[in-house]
Amino acid sequence: MAFTADEFEFLTEKTLLFLIILDDKGNICRVNKRCEILFSLPTDKIIGKSIYTFLLDEDESEFKEAISQLSKNNEQLSKTFGFATLVSDAILYLKFDLVYHNNKIYASGIDVTEENEEHNFLKTLSRLTKTGAWHFDPINDKLYFSKECYRLHDLESGTHITIEQALLYYPEESRERIKNYWDNLTDSGISYDYVDRLITKKGREKWVRVIGEPVLHDGKVIFVNGSFSDITDQQSYIEQLKYNEETKKLALKGIRSGLFDHLIETNMVFYSLDFRKMLGLPLNKDFVPEETFRTMIHPDDLDKAIKRHHENLKKVGYHYFNYYRLKHLDGGYRHYEVHGYRKKNEKGETIRMIGNLIDIHQKKLNERTIAENQSRLLAMVNNGFAYTVLLNTAGEILMADENSINIIKRDFSVDPTVTLSRFIDVMPVNFRNTFAHEFNEALKGQTVKKEIERITHKGSIQWLESKYTPIKDQENNINSVLVSFHDITEQKSAELAIKEAHIKEQELSSLKSNILSNFSHEIRTPLNGIITISNLLLLGEENPSDRKKLATYLDESKERLLTTINNLSHYSEIETIQKNLNYLEADINYTVETSYREYRHFANSKNLEYILELDERCPSAIIDVDIFHTAINNIIHNAIKYTNKGKVVVNVKAKKNSIRISIKDSGIGIGKDNLKKIFDPFIQESIGLSRKYEGTGIGLSLSKRYIEILGGKIKVISKLEKGTKFIITIPKNI
């Protein structure tokens, strides 16, 4: 049943609704009594006025659009508009239901001022803080953006957007990570809070903080609420902290790190979001007192950490470094390092510190594992091959056994476990000739073996079999080379002994005939001379001059025969001589000079330049003077004997623990093949009846044996037609 006119009039005047009839231009045709509150005018003064006079400016265009839409489509609309009251200067917000009929607009409104003020407050706050709200309906697959969200993306308000389209506004390298956040939220209900770059539709780069919170029902996500916050200014500040004057020397290292800004005077610390996440600190608090942080340090580390902290604040310079274990989210403790840069006042006191907390827990665990593995590997290495060295592809030492390390330390004063060293720079010289080739072959994937002969620091010969083994990673790429050396000295010595025995066996026959021929010649020649000269003297050679010459020749033949017999006697009696040595401290200058004088006449007879060079320090040594004289005499005699022109130089030089005597001549020299056999008995450079120089060849062998008995060494350097140099080294004390 319809209302009567009286009933309708009564209802219109008593309702709390604001009832207004407008023409299509927006002019007021009729209002109820309630509208006097809205327009602050009596009813009769309201009629004829334009509704736009009372609307807020920002709502005027929206109201006109609503009237236009109603007149075209003849439908009902529900809109909220703001009105400025003239009396109280207050703003009333009315939610109107608008209906178009017979060129008239019928509007009924309800006061929603209180509700709308909260909405406007949130709207204003959203604009001022550059924070926009969004929500997602997974059932209908619809994403809703607030105006601020559209503004952040540089999109027109109301633009349709999907989750896939929203993801495209992030840099390509961030999309997969953000997609994982989203999948974890929608699939498992895990909320997220992350900071990343956003590239707007206009190409502008912004930093945003994005929060997503699920709404669950029966364990399923039925709705997602979230927010976008424009933190470009804040992020710029943090970036500036990293690169400005106060933080330019801060070393940001490690994967997980947190930035902090510690104001020493107020004892307040600003912690970055990553920092707070890392330590489980409240995400809604940027500043945390230092005391709160200290409660998280492991009790065993606290005192030392605080001590280092105060020492850091007082020390010279600007850098800060500390380390300790911190309590983690799971209740356990993790290792951290703190690197910081300190700002000081005019008094040199630290007033501010900006730094970086770095999670090095995994690094510590890795170091411990590596140390344990290295210990096991070194145990295997040290008890395996003679020497083992692991090299990277640049030839630098990564690991080595104890013997190799000790040799490198001793010979090159470098510890390869401390200082990165190239193997080629710290290896014995005779290794270098072949190392580069074998190492390069190993880098190509080949396993290479090589035999090497070396002289140890004790002077003994060592044979090694080197093996170069390429080491490959999981992708089959060569990342290192293992160089191992196996001691094959005994095996090699046996092989060489067999070989030398075979050679000696072949040489024995010729050596026997050579010795017999040589010895027979050395005895027979002077004997023939003695017999011939004796016969001539017995036959009565009467010419005094000729008799004198014959007597001289007879004496030379006698001396030669005696020398040969004496040398043979000495050589055969070496063992006896060695047991009956008479050691005395002797002046080497004087001893050598005595030998030198004995052969001055011989050198002058050949017109040679005969030189003696003594050491001004007058070195002395404990020797048996007799056998030393014999050794030196044989060498000086040979030097003069085999030199036809030029000079013979005898030199004495004192070293730290030894004395060196050298005899150098410019004579015929010794061939390369005979140089190795020069100290063998009965061996000469020329052999046979046509040889140019006489002698048994036993003198040098005897000299070598005598020098060795005295604890010394003798070596020879020679070249055919260029002369010979004998170098004798004897210790000052045996």
Residues 613 and 666 in one domain: yes
Question: How high is the pLDDT of residue 336?
Answer: 85
Task: Examine the pLDDT at 247 and tell me if it is beyond 80.
Answer: no
Contact assessment for residue 150 and residue 161, using Cβ atoms and an 8 Å cutoff: no
- Pick from 266-270, 583-587, 595-599: least confident: 266-270
243, pLDDT greater than 60: no
The letter for the amino acid at 60 is E
Give the mean model confidence (pLDDT) for residues 560-571: 59
CA distance 648 to 599: 11
265 within domain boundaries: yes
Same domain membership, residue 259 and residue 224: no
H or E stretch covering 196? strand 192-199
Confidence at 731, pLDDT banded by 50, 70, 90: very high
> Does residue 245 surpass a pLDDT of 50?
no
pTM given for the model: 0.30
Segment 477-490 shows an average pLDDT of: 83
One-letter identity of residue 71: S
d(CA 61, CA 175): 40
pLDDT in tens, 363-402: 777 766 666 555 555 554 555 556 788 888 888 988 888 8
Local confidence band at 67 (pLDDT 50, 70, 90 cut-offs): confident
594 lies in the same domain as 669:
yes
CA-nearest of 696, 726, 673 to 523 is 696
Q: Are 435 and 424 in contact (CB under 8 A)?
A: yes
Average pLDDT over residues 303-307: 91
Domain boundary among 519, 540, 569: 569
Per-residue pLDDT for 493 more than 70?
yes
Residue numbers of the domain that contains 663: 574-731
Please check whether residue 124 lies inside any domain of the structure.
Answer: no
Contact 35, 43 (CB under 8 A): yes
pLDDT at site 694: 43
The helix (H) or strand (E) run that includes residue 498 is: helix 489-538
pLDDT at 130: 66
Domain identity same for 82 and 164: no
CATH of the domain at 205: 3.30.450.20
Taking the C-alpha atoms of residue 534 and residue 532, their distance in angstroms, rounded to an integer, is 5
Per-residue pLDDT at 688: 34
Q: Is residue 654 part of a domain?
A: yes
- What count of other Cβ atoms lies within 10 Å of the Cβ of residue 278? 21
- 44-58, 188-202, 379-393: the lowest-pLDDT one: 379-393
Average pLDDT over residues 168-186: 90
The per-residue pLDDT for range 612-658, each reduced to its tens digit, is 999 998 899 999 898 899 889 989 998 998 999 999 999 999 998 89
Both 596 and 648 in one domain: the answer is: yes
Torsional sign, CA 9, 10, 13, 17: negative
| Averaged pLDDT of the chain | 79
**433/340 same-domain check:** no
Segment 172-177 mean pLDDT: 91
**Judgement on whether residues 139 and 189 belong to the same structural domain of the protein:** yes
The confidence band for 522, taking pLDDT boundaries of 50, 70 and 90, is low
pLDDT above 90 (res 76) = no
Q: What is the pLDDT of residues 271-297, one digit of tens each?
A: 777 667 767 777 776 677 777 778 888
DSSP structure string for 451-494: EEEEE-TTS-EEEEEEEEEEEE-TTS-EEEEEEEEEE-HHHHHH
Lowest mean pLDDT among 77-86, 590-599, 648-657: 77-86
Q: Is residue 146 part of a domain?
A: yes
Q: Can you tell me the mean pLDDT for 514-542?
A: 62
Q: Do 62 and 36 share a structural domain? A: yes
CATH number of the domain residue 714 falls in: 3.30.565.10
Does the pLDDT of residue 403 top 60, yes or no? yes
Residue 138 contacts residue 186 (beta carbons within 8 Å): yes
Higher-scoring residue by pLDDT: 594, 536: 594
pLDDT at 505 over 90: no
Identify whether 610 is part of a domain. yes
pLDDT band of 692, cuts 50, 70, 90: very low
Angle, helix 588-598 to helix 625-641, in steps of 10 degrees: 40
Which pLDDT value is given to residue 249? 43
The pLDDT, as a whole number, for residue 553 is 63
Q: Which of 66, 86, 115 is the last residue of a domain?
A: 115
Pair 210, 184 in one domain: yes
Name the band, by pLDDT with cuts 50, 70 and 90, for residue 661: very high
Q: Which amino acid is at 277?
A: K
What's the pLDDT score for residue 614?
A: 93
140-169: pLDDT as tens digits = 888 888 888 888 889 888 888 888 888 899
466: which residues sit within 8 A by CB, 6+ positions away? 431, 438, 449, 450, 451, 452, 483, 484, 485
Q: Is 607 left (phi over 0), alpha (psi -120 to 50) or beta?
A: left
Mean pLDDT of the 508-516 span:
50
* 507 shares its domain with 590: no
**Number of domains, the chain:** 6
pLDDT > 70: what percent of the chain?
77
Q: Which of 430, 461, 487 corresponds to the end of one domain?
A: 487
pLDDT exceeds cutoff 50 at 253: no
pLDDT winner (highest mean) among 108-117, 127-136, 171-180, 361-370: 171-180
Lowest mean pLDDT among 266-275, 619-628, 662-671: 266-275
Least confident of 204-208, 401-405, 549-553, 728-732: 549-553
Instruction: Name the pLDDT band for 91 (thresholds 50, 70, 90).
Output: confident
When comparing pLDDT for 97 and 561, which is higher?
A: 97
Q: Is the pLDDT of residue 94 over 70?
A: yes
Closest-CA residue to 665 (of 605, 727, 595):
727
What's the pLDDT at 712? Answer: 92
Domain membership of residue 120 (yes or no) is: no
In the prediction, which pLDDT does 639 show? 92
The beta-carbon contacts of 184-191 under 8 Å, at least 24 apart in sequence, are 185/212, 185/214, 185/221, 185/224, 186/138, 186/214, 186/221, 186/224, 187/221, 189/214, 189/216, 189/219, 189/221, 190/214
**In this structure, is residue 501 part of a structural domain?**
yes
User: Which structure tokens are listed for 15?
Assistant: 């309702």
- Amino acid identity at 540: G
Q: Provide φ and ψ at 196, rounded to 5°.
A: -155, 170
Domain match, 78 and 147 both: no
Task: Say yes or no: 241 and 331 in one domain.
Answer: yes
Residue 193 lies inside a defined structural domain of this protein:
yes
